[in-house]
Chain A
Amino acid sequence: MASVHESLYFNPMMTNGVVHANVFGIKDWVTPYKISVLALLYDMTASKITLPERRRLNKLILPLQQGPDLTLGQFLKTVEECCPQTAYAVKLRLHEMADGELKDMEYFFSTLPTPFSAFDSEAYKTSVVGLFMRHMLLAYNKLSFSQVYKLYKSLQHYYHSHYAKPTDGQVSLPVLVADDSDMDLTSTEDTVGDRIDREELDTPLHESELRNDNTPSRGPLSQKQAEYFLARQAYLLKNDENKALKPAALQEELNNMLKFNPDFAEAHYLNYLNSMRVQDIFLSAHSLLHYFDRLILSGSEGKSNGDEGYGRSLRYAALNLASLHCRFGHYQQADLALQEAIRIAQESNDHVCLQHCLSWLYTLEQMKGSDSTVLTEDSVKMAAHFCLPYLASLGIQSLVQQGATQGKTAHKLMDALKDTDILHWKHSLSELIEISLAQTTSIWRMFGKSTMALQQAQLLLNMSSLEPVNFGVQQNNTEAFSVALCHLAELHAEQGLYCAVSEILQHLKEQFPPHSHHAKLWMLCDLKIQFERHMNEGKYHLAEPLVTAISALNKTEGLYRKAQVLKALNRSTEAYSILQRLQVHCEKTKRTEVVIRVMLSTAELHWESSGFSTALPLLLQALALARQHHLQSLASETILHLAFTQLMLGVPEHALSVLHEAIEPVLAHGSLMDKGRALLLTARCQMAVAGFRPNGQARADLHLVVLAVDTLNEAAAYFSKLNCKERLRDVHYLQAQLHRSLGQTSQCNKSAMLFRLLDQELQSPAPPVSMRL
C-alpha cells in the first residue's frame, strides 16, 4: 500500500491502537474539572468559612465528586451559590495555575494535604473526601511526563475557554434545555479552535464541509457524562418520550459517542430504542445485535457460561430479538426467536429467563389472537414461585384483562387487582400501579359504571410519579396515562361536554405526538367521539368519511360503524350483510361487547321492516349475553330495546314494567343520549298505558298524561344538550299532542311551533315517530 501514513505502521516498536491507555487499571483519571474540585476541597480546609456556608458546601461535595464533569462556569456558579468567598478563592487558585507555569500545577498537587498525615481533618484517609483525594493523588502520580504536560494544557484550555467566551458554550447547547444545571454536551474547548479556523478560512465552504466542521466540535463525553446521558435518555424514552431528544438528534449524539468510544455498548442499546421509536426495523435489529455482541464480550471476563456469564446475555439476546419482532408484528419470526430463547434457557436451567420467556409467550399468543389463559395462569404461578413480583402481577393483569372479556364477575376481577396492588405497593412497582389503575378504569367502563371509571381515571391522573429517580419528570407519559385520558375524553363526550373533550384531546396530542407509540389510542378515541357526535346530530354525511379512518385503526370497530351509518342512511340490506359478517367474526374472536351491539343494531333493522316479533328473540339473546358478562350499560340498553319492541307489539304495560328495571342504572350511569332515549320511551309507554290516542277520541288517564309531559320535558332537556334535533322534533310533536289533549292551548301552540321550526330546519321528512327508539 502506498498511502503515506501507512509507512509509520511498519515501525516494529509501535503499539498504537491495541495497547489501551488504561494500562494501570485506574478507573479515575485526573481531569481539569477534578482539579477544580480538589481546589475547592483544599480551600474549604484552608480558609475560615461561616457555619451555614460550610454546611451548604458540605452538601455539595458528594454530588460534585460523583457527578459528571461540569464546565468551569457551571462549577463556579454552583459553588458561588453556597459561598461566594470560596468560589473566589478557587477561581484565584485555578487562575494561578492556568496563567502560571507547569510548576504551579505541580506545586498545587504537592501542597494538597495528604490524607495520611492529616489525622484530625476531614481529609482523613477513610473519609469520603480523603478517599477522593487519595484517588486523585494516585492517578496524578502515575501520569507519565507527557501526560502531565497534556493535563496542564487541558487545564489551561478549561480555564481559558470559560473566559474567552462565556456565553458561546451555553448557546451551542440546544439539546438539554430541560434543566441547564445538567451537563454540557458540547465541550467548549473545541469550539474555540473551530472559530479561529473558520476565521482563517475565508474560502467558500461547501455544505458538507461545514457539517463536518461542526461535528467534531461536539467532542467526546467522559465515561460518566456518557452514562448519565444514556441513562437519562433511556428513562425519558420509556416514560416521557416528548422530553427526550428528537430521534434524529439523538441518533446524531449516539453516532458521535460511538465514534469516540466504539466500546460503549449501552449506546447501541439506546440506538435500538431510538430506532424502535421511528419504526426502523433494520437499524433496530442491527443495533440490538451489536449491543449483545458487545455485551457478551464484557460479560465474558468473569464466569463463563454460568448464570452470570455471557451465556445469560445470549439468552436475553434471543429474547430481546423476539420482543423486537413482536413489536413489529412479525409473529412468526418472534415465535422462532422465542423458541430459541426458551431452548437455551432450559438447557442452562435459567428459571428467571424462562419466566420472562413464558410471559412473552402468552403475550405473543394473545397478540396473535388465540386464547392464552392457561399459559398465563402457569406463568403467574411460576413467577410467584420464583419470587418475581413484576412478572407475577403482569401476568395477573393480563389474566384480568382476559377474564374481563370472557365474562368473569366483577368482584373476582377487582379482587385480583386489589391483591396485585398490594404487591405493587410493597415492591413499589410504580409502572404496574399505573397500569392497574388504568385497567380498573377500563373495567369499570366496560361494566357500565361511568362514575367509578371517572374516579379511577382521575386517581391515576392526579398521582405524581413514584419513580425513585425522576429526571424532573412530574408524571410519566406511558400507555396507562394515555388509556386513562382517552376514557376521560369519552366519558365527557357521553355527557355532552365537548369543550372539555377537545381540551383533553389537545393535551393528548401534545403528550403523545402522532408519530409516537401510543398515539393510535387517542386517534381512535377522537374519531369515535366525532362519529358519535355527528350521528347524534343527524349529520350522517359527516360521519361517513370518519368510518374509513376508524377502520384504518381498528377494523372491527370500523365495520360496526359502517353498518351504523348505512342503517342511518336507510341502506338496510348492506347494513344487514355487514352486521351478519361482523357477528360471526366477533363470536369467533369472543368480543362479546361488539356482539351485543351488533345484535342490537340487527334488531333495529328488524324494526324498520316492522319485524318486531323477529327482533324479540335476538334481543333476549343479547340480554342474556349482557347479563352473563355483567355489562350493565349494554344490558340496560337492551332492556330499552326490549321495552320498545313490547310497546310496538302493543303491550305497553309490560314495557313500562320492564323499563322500570332499566331506568335507574341508565339515569345513574348512562350517557346523555341513553337518558334521553329512556325518558322518551317511558313517556311513550305512559301515553300508551294511559290509552292516549293522537286524535283524542278516547278518554285518557289524565294523571299518567301529566306524568308523560314531565318525562318528555326532561328528555327534551337532554336532547337539546346533545343538539339531537331529530329526537327533539319527536319530543315536541308528542308534547304538542299531549298539551292539546290536556287543553293547554298556549303550550300546545308553543310545542307545535318548536316542532315546525325544527322540521323546517331538518328538511328531511320525519320518519314515523313510532319506528325508532
Chain B
Amino acid sequence: MKMAALCSEFGDLVQIKKQLISVISLCKERGLLHSAKWASELAFALDPLPKNELPPSPPFTEEDAQDLDALTLAKSYFDLKEYDRAAYFLKGCCSQKAYFLYMYSRYLSGEKKKDDETVDSLGPLEKGQVRNEALRELRVELSKKHTAGELDGFTLYLYGVVLRKLDLLKEAVEVFVEAIHTLPLHWGAWLELSNLVTNIEMLKSLSLPDCWIKDFFMAHMYTELQMIKEALQKYQNLIEAGFSKSTYIISQIAVAYHNIRDIDQALALFNELREQDPYRIDNMDTFSNLLYVKSMKPELSYLAHNLVEIDKYRVETCCVIGNYYSLRSQHEKAALYFQRALKLNPRCLGAWTLMGHEYMEMKNTSAAIQAYRHAIEVNKRDYRAWYGLGQTYEILKMPFYCLYYYRKAHQLRPNDSRMLVALGESYEKLSQQLEAKKCYWRAYSVGDVEKMALLKLAKLHEQLNESDDAAQCYMLYIQDIFSCGEQLEHAEVSTALRYLGQYYFKNKLYDEASLCAQRCCDYNDAREEGKALLRQISQVRDQIETPSADLFAPLSNNNTPVRRVSPLNLISFTP
C-alpha cells in the first residue's frame, strides 16, 4: 500500500484510481467521512475500472476476525453518534481498526460533550473553561503507543488532532507529517497539516512524501498562502494530468480566481461547477460573493432559493441568503442570516466579516466593530476585517485612528491597491500630502483595481501646484481607463482632459491643447469648457500668426516645457 502510493507518476491514472478506491473503504470503515468524501469525489472524476482491475479488499487478519462482531456493533453505534457506547464495546479489542475507532469515539464523545457543556455552564466563571476532558487521557495513551511505534497512519492522524486541540502545535506538525508518510492517501491528515502551516518558509521546510497527492496539497497550500499564481499553475497541471472532471479542482480554481478578484473567470467556473454538481453546497458562499460583487440579482436569488431547497441549515446557505438580502438592501435580514450562520459554526470567519459589513450599511458602527473584532479573534490575518474596522472609523470621521487599521490590512495584503488607496485618503485628510502621494503611487504600481489612485494622485498634485506631475498623472489615468476597455461609472476622464487642455494651453502647446479640448466636447459636463478652450486657442493662434511671419520657428521651440508629454499618445487610446 505504502509503496504503491509513493509512485508519483500521474500517467498511471489506473493506479491512482485503485489507490483511491482502497483508501475510500479504509476511511469509511473508520468513520472518517470527510476524507472518504474527498477521495470518492476524486475517484469519480477518473474513468471506471474494469471488473478484473478492481483492487482486492485488504487482507483480513486473525485479529480482525476476532474483533469483527464488536467492531460491527460499535460502528453502528458510532454512525448513530452514540460514541460512549461504541467506545465501551470496543474496549479490549486489539486490531488496529478497532483501536482507531475506539480512540476516535472517545475523542468525538469528548468533543460532543464539550459543545453541550457550553450551553449550560455555571456562569461566567466557567465561560471559556469548558474543554474536551478526554483529550488529556487520549494524549497520554497515544503518546505511549507512539513512542512504542505502534500507531498506524490513522491513529497517528488522531494523535495529531489531539495534540492540535491541546495547542501543542509544534508536536502536532511533526505527528501529522509522520502520519502522512505512513499513509499518504488520507486527505484529512494533509488538511490538518495545512491548517498549521503559517508561511511559505515553514511549508518549504517540511519533508513531505513524494506522492501524487502532494500536488493537491501544495496547490491547496498556495491558495491558503495567497500565492494564487502558483496555485493556478498547480491546478492546471493536475487537470492536464487527467483530473479534468474533478469538481474539487474546479471549485478550488474558482476560489483561487475569486481571491485574486478575477471575477469573470471565477463566475464561469462556478457556473460550470453547478452544472456538473447541481446539489453542491460547499463553496457556494464564495460563488454568492462573486454574484454580489457583480450585482447579479436574479442569479443570486436563484442560487439562494435553490440552496434553501437543498438544505437550509448549512453555513453556506445562510451566507448566500445573507448576501442575497444585502444585495436587496435589506440589511437587517442579511445580518440575521449571518448570525444564523454563526450559530451553526461560530468559527466561520467569512460570516463575521460579512456581518460587520451589514452593520456598516445599517450605520450601526459599534455592532460593526464588534463583528470585525470577532473576525479578527478567529483569524488575526483576516485583512478584510482590519480593512472593515478602518472603514468604520473613517465613517466616524477619525482618519488618524483608522490609519492603524488600514496599515494592518496593508501589512497583510501588501499588494492590494484598495488598502493603499484607503491609506492615501486618510493621509490626505490629515494633510500629510507626502505620505498620501506615496500611497497613491504605490497603489497604482501594484495594479489599481478601482482605477482611482491615479486620479487622486493627479488631484493631489494639482492642489500642490505641481502641474507637470499632475499632467503626467492625468495622462497615465486616461491611458489606464481606455486600456481597460470597459466604461467605469466613476471615471472622470473629462476632468483629466479638461486639466490637460489647460495645462497644454498654459505651456503654449496649442496642438495638444486643442486635441484635448476637442475630446472634452465628447463629455457633457466638460463640453462648454472644451469649446471655450478651443476658442481661446484659435484666438491665440491668430495673434501669434499675424506677427510671427518672420520669427515663426524659434518661438515654439523656446516654449517647449521640460517634461513634455507626447500628445500623440492620446490618439491610440481612443475607445
**Residues of chain A at the chain B interface (Cβ within 8 Å):** 1-10, 12, 14-22, 26, 29-31, 143-144, 146-147, 150-151, 154, 193, 197, 200-201, 203, 206, 208-209, 212, 219-220, 222-223, 259-262, 285, 289-290, 293-294, 296-297, 299-300, 304, 310, 314, 317-318, 321, 333, 336-337, 339-340, 343-344, 347
Nearest opposing residue in chain B for A2, CB measure: B34
Tell me which residues across on chain B come within 8 A of A201, comparing CB atoms.
140, 143
Residue among B129, B143, B165 with max Cβ neighbours from chain A (10 Å): B129
Instruction: Contact check, A296 vs B366: say whether CB atoms are below 8 A apart.
Output: yes
Tell me which residues across on chain B come within 8 A of A193, comparing CB atoms.
136
Tell me which residues across on chain A come within 8 A of B389, comparing CB atoms.
293
Nearest opposing residue in chain A for B343, CB measure: A18
Instruction: Contact check, B398 vs A314: say whether CB atoms are below 8 A apart.
Output: yes
Q: Is B488 located at the chain interface by the 8 A CB criterion? A: no
Instruction: Contact check, A3 vs B34: say whether CB atoms are below 8 A apart.
Output: yes
Partner of B118, one of A17, A337, A347: A17
Q: A3-B188, A15-B343, A147-B120 are in contact. Are A220 and B167 (CB under 8 A)?
A: no
Instruction: Contact check, B168 vs A262: say whether CB atoms are below 8 A apart.
Output: no
Nearest opposing residue in chain A for B191, CB measure: A2
Question: Which B343-361 residues sit within 8 Å CB-CB of chain A?
Answer: 343-347
Q: A3-B188, A9-B345 are in contact. Are A220 and B125 (CB under 8 A)?
A: yes
- Complex Cα distance, B478 from A329, in Å, reads 44
Nearest opposing residue in chain A for B158, CB measure: A4
Instruction: Contact check, A212 vs B187: say whether CB atoms are below 8 A apart.
Output: no
Instruction: Contact check, B168 vs A208: say whether CB atoms are below 8 A apart.
Output: yes
Instruction: Contact check, A150 vs B369: say whether CB atoms are below 8 A apart.
Output: no
Q: A220-B125, A336-B430 are in contact. Are A2 and B35 (CB under 8 A)?
A: yes
Partner of A222, one of B32, B125, B345: B125
Instruction: Contact check, A17 vs B346: say whether CB atoms are below 8 A apart.
Output: yes
Q: Which 6 A-B pairs have the closest CB atoms?
A: A29-B123, A2-B34, A17-B346, A300-B366, A12-B313, A260-B128
Instruction: Contact check, B128 vs A262: say whether CB atoms are below 8 A apart.
Output: yes
> Which of B54-62, B103-111, B519-527 lies at the binding interface?
B103-111
Partner of B144, one of A15, A203, A222, A336: A203
Can you report 15 residue pairs joining A to B where beta carbons are below 8 Å apart? A2-B191, A4-B111, A9-B345, A29-B122, A29-B123, A30-B122, A150-B121, A154-B122, A197-B140, A203-B144, A220-B126, A285-B404, A293-B373, A343-B397, A347-B397
Q: State the Cβ distance, A256 to closest chain B Cβ, in Å.
A: 11
Q: State the Cβ distance, A315 to closest chain B Cβ, in Å.
A: 9
- Complex Cα distance, B35 from A212, in Å, reads 30
- Complex Cα distance, B366 from A231, in Å, reads 26
Partner of A22, one of B124, B143, B366: B124
Tell me which residues across on chain A come within 8 A of B120, comparing CB atoms.
21, 144, 146-147
Instruction: Contact check, A151 vs B122: say whether CB atoms are below 8 A apart.
Output: yes
Partner of A15, one of B38, B119, B398, B430: B119
Tell me which residues across on chain A come within 8 A of B432, comparing CB atoms.
336
Tell me which residues across on chain A come within 8 A of B32, comparing CB atoms.
2, 4
Interface residues on B, range: 35 or more
Partner of B168, one of A12, A197, A209: A209
Q: State the Cβ distance, A307 to closest chain B Cβ, in Å.
A: 16
Q: A10-B314, A297-B370 are in contact. Are A21 and B168 (CB under 8 A)?
A: no
Tell me which residues across on chain B come within 8 A of A154, comparing CB atoms.
122
Per-residue 0/1 for B154-170: is the Cβ within 8 Å of any A Cβ (1 yes, 0 no)?
Answer: 00001001000111101
Question: Count the A-B residue pairs with Cβ separation under 8 angstroms: how many?
Answer: 180
Partner of B124, one of A151, A261, A290, A294: A261
Nearest opposing residue in chain A for B111, CB measure: A5
Q: Is B400 located at the chain interface by the 8 A CB criterion? A: yes
Q: State the Cβ distance, B271 to closest chain A Cβ, in Å.
A: 24
Q: Is B195 located at the chain interface by the 8 A CB criterion? A: yes
Instruction: Contact check, A304 vs B188: say whether CB atoms are below 8 A apart.
Output: no
Q: A203-B143, A310-B366, A318-B398 are in contact. Are A2 and B188 (CB under 8 A)?
A: yes
- Complex Cα distance, B367 from A262, in Å, reads 17
Q: A220-B128, A340-B400, A340-B401 are in contact. Are A300 and B122 (CB under 8 A)?
A: no
Instruction: Contact check, A220 vs B129: say whether CB atoms are below 8 A apart.
Output: yes
Q: State the Cβ distance, B190 to closest chain A Cβ, in Å.
A: 9
Tell me which residues across on chain A come within 8 A of B187, comparing CB atoms.
2
Per-residue 0/1 for B192-204: is the Cβ within 8 Å of any A Cβ (1 yes, 0 no)?
Answer: 1001000000000
Instruction: Contact check, B104 vs A4: say whether CB atoms are below 8 A apart.
Output: yes
Tell me which residues across on chain B come within 8 A of A337, comparing CB atoms.
400-401
Tell me which residues across on chain B come within 8 A of A26, comparing CB atoms.
123
Instruction: Contact check, B161 vs A3: say whether CB atoms are below 8 A apart.
Output: yes
Partner of B195, one of A3, A21, A343: A3
Instruction: Contact check, B400 vs A321: say whether CB atoms are below 8 A apart.
Output: yes
Tell me which residues across on chain B come within 8 A of A31, comparing CB atoms.
122-123, 125
Instruction: Contact check, B369 vs A336: say whether CB atoms are below 8 A apart.
Output: no
Instruction: Contact check, B399 vs A340: say whether CB atoms are below 8 A apart.
Output: yes
Tell me which residues across on chain A come within 8 A of B129, comparing CB atoms.
219-220, 260
Tell me which residues across on chain B come within 8 A of A147, comparing CB atoms.
120-122
Nearest opposing residue in chain A for B115, CB measure: A16
Instruction: Contact check, A20 vs B127: say whether CB atoms are below 8 A apart.
Output: yes
Nearest opposing residue in chain A for B108, CB measure: A4
Tell me which residues across on chain B come within 8 A of A293, comparing CB atoms.
369, 373, 389
Instruction: Contact check, A200 vs B161: say whether CB atoms are below 8 A apart.
Output: no
Tell me which residues across on chain B come within 8 A of A9, comparing CB atoms.
315, 344-345
Q: State the Cβ distance, A325 to closest chain B Cβ, in Å.
A: 10
Question: Which B302-342 residues sit within 8 Å CB-CB of chain A?
Answer: 313-315, 339, 342
- Complex Cα distance, B73 from A343, in Å, reads 72
Q: State the Cβ distance, A219 to closest chain B Cβ, in Å.
A: 7
- Complex Cα distance, B404 from A290, in Å, reads 11
- Complex Cα distance, B399 from A318, in Å, reads 10
Tell me which residues across on chain A come within 8 A of B107, comparing CB atoms.
4
Tell me which residues across on chain B come within 8 A of A340, comparing CB atoms.
398-401
Nearest opposing residue in chain A for B389, CB measure: A293
Tell me which residues across on chain A come within 8 A of B166, comparing CB atoms.
212
Tell me which residues across on chain B come within 8 A of A296, comparing CB atoms.
365-366, 369
Tell me which residues across on chain A come within 8 A of B404, comparing CB atoms.
285, 289
- Complex Cα distance, B159 from A4, in Å, reads 12
Instruction: Contact check, A344 vs B192: say whether CB atoms are below 8 A apart.
Output: no
Per-residue 0/1 for B30-59: is the Cβ within 8 Å of any A Cβ (1 yes, 0 no)?
Answer: 001111011000000000000000000000
Q: Is B147 located at the chain interface by the 8 A CB criterion? A: yes
Nearest opposing residue in chain A for B315, CB measure: A9
Nearest opposing residue in chain B for A146, CB measure: B120
Tell me which residues across on chain B come within 8 A of A209, comparing CB atoms.
168, 171
Given contacts A4-B34, A14-B343, A339-B400, 6 further A-B contacts (CB under 8 A): A3-B161, A147-B122, A203-B147, A259-B128, A260-B127, A290-B373
Q: State the Cβ distance, A351 to closest chain B Cβ, in Å.
A: 19
Q: A22-B123, A22-B124, A340-B399 are in contact. Are A300 and B367 (CB under 8 A)?
A: yes
Partner of B140, one of A20, A22, A200: A200
Q: A3-B188, A5-B111 are in contact. Are A206 and B124 (CB under 8 A)?
A: no
- Complex Cα distance, B116 from A223, in Å, reads 23
Tell me which residues across on chain B come within 8 A of A304, comparing CB atoms.
366
- Complex Cα distance, B128 from A223, in Å, reads 13
Q: Is B396 located at the chain interface by the 8 A CB criterion? A: yes
- Complex Cα distance, B317 from A12, in Å, reads 12
Instruction: Contact check, B33 vs A7: say whether CB atoms are below 8 A apart.
Output: yes
- Complex Cα distance, B165 from A300, in Å, reads 35
Nearest opposing residue in chain B for A5, CB measure: B111
Instruction: Contact check, A21 vs B123: say whether CB atoms are below 8 A apart.
Output: yes
Tell me which residues across on chain A come within 8 A of B347, comparing CB atoms.
17
Q: A21-B123, A151-B122 are in contact. Are A318 and B401 (CB under 8 A)?
A: yes
Q: Is B377 located at the chain interface by the 8 A CB criterion? A: yes
Q: Is B112 located at the chain interface by the 8 A CB criterion? A: yes
Tell me which residues across on chain B come within 8 A of A17, comparing CB atoms.
118, 342, 346-347
Q: State the Cβ distance, A254 to closest chain B Cβ, in Å.
A: 14
- Complex Cα distance, B187 from A147, in Å, reads 40
Tell me which residues across on chain A come within 8 A of B369, comparing CB atoms.
293, 296-297
Residue among B144, B315, B347, B400 with max Cβ neighbours from chain A (10 Å): B400
Tell me which residues across on chain A come within 8 A of B342, comparing CB atoms.
17-18
Tell me which residues across on chain B come within 8 A of A262, comparing CB atoms.
128, 377
